[in-house]
A = this chain, B = another copy of it.
Amino acid sequence: MVRQEKSFASQEFPRWKLVALIDYAIDYGRFAFSSDVPHICRKVGKLVLIHEEYMAIALAQAEEARSVDEVPVGAVIVREGIILAAAHNQREQLRDPTAHAEMIAITQAATALDSWRLEGCSLYVTLEPCPMCAGAILQARVSQVVFGAADPKAGAVCSLYQLLDDERMNHKTEAIGGVMSEQCGKLLTGFFAEKRRIGKK
């Protein structure tokens, strides 16, 4: 037990969780990090982006995933116009079945806020969340989810389950689907078509 606490206190854990966000700040130039307080994102530009603009950032994350041969899904978490997290699927790289874009983004945002409660946060993700991710969204008390493409095979927001809208759970999360769904879906279908093409060779 002592070791677990030590490990957390060592700051090794928060560092890797925030890397995607630091990269984002460099790439997009619209937000920047305070070098003194690395997990507070300092806003330096426009106050509020609309859904499509945040989704475009999630899509850029999904492109990052594709570039390293991961299933291309990206996610962004925003509160009061400030981006707290930007992540992509890293299941293969980390050899971790829990390393979906949403899960990594939730942990990043919780680290940024130093709290497991993400009330007031909106999560943007290019694909409808699966049961694991929808469950994590409820655990984190995320206020709003905006997703791109629906996932008829495993989606847990509107397809197979409607987890975010279950009166019996102790939290409900507002959900908006279909934002930039064509681009989000194309990235996925292209990825899997390429996989099949290579498989047939």
Q: Which residues of A contact B (CB under 8 A)?
A: 1, 3-5, 7-8, 12-13, 15-16, 19-20, 22-23, 64, 67-68, 90-100, 103, 106-107, 110-111, 114-118, 130-136, 138-141, 153-154, 156, 160-161, 163, 166, 168-170
A110–B90 touching, CB < 8 Å: no
- Indicate whether A98 sits within 8 Å of B136 (C-beta atoms), given known contacts A7-B19, A153-B170: yes
B98–A139 touching, CB < 8 Å: yes
Please indicate the chain B residues that have their CB under 8 angstroms from the CB of A97 in the complex. 106, 110, 116-118, 136, 139-141
Task: Report Cα–Cα, A94/B118, bound state, in Å.
Answer: 14
B116–A92 touching, CB < 8 Å: yes
CB closest residue in chain B, given A136: B132
Task: Report Cα–Cα, A115/B92, bound state, in Å.
Answer: 8
CB closest residue in chain B, given A160: B168
- Indicate whether A135 sits within 8 Å of B140 (C-beta atoms), given known contacts A90-B4, A116-B95, A160-B169: no
CB closest residue in chain B, given A4: B19
Shortest beta-carbon distance from A91 to chain B in Å: 5
B116–A67 touching, CB < 8 Å: no
Please indicate the chain B residues that have their CB under 8 angstroms from the CB of A16 in the complex. 4, 7-8, 12-13
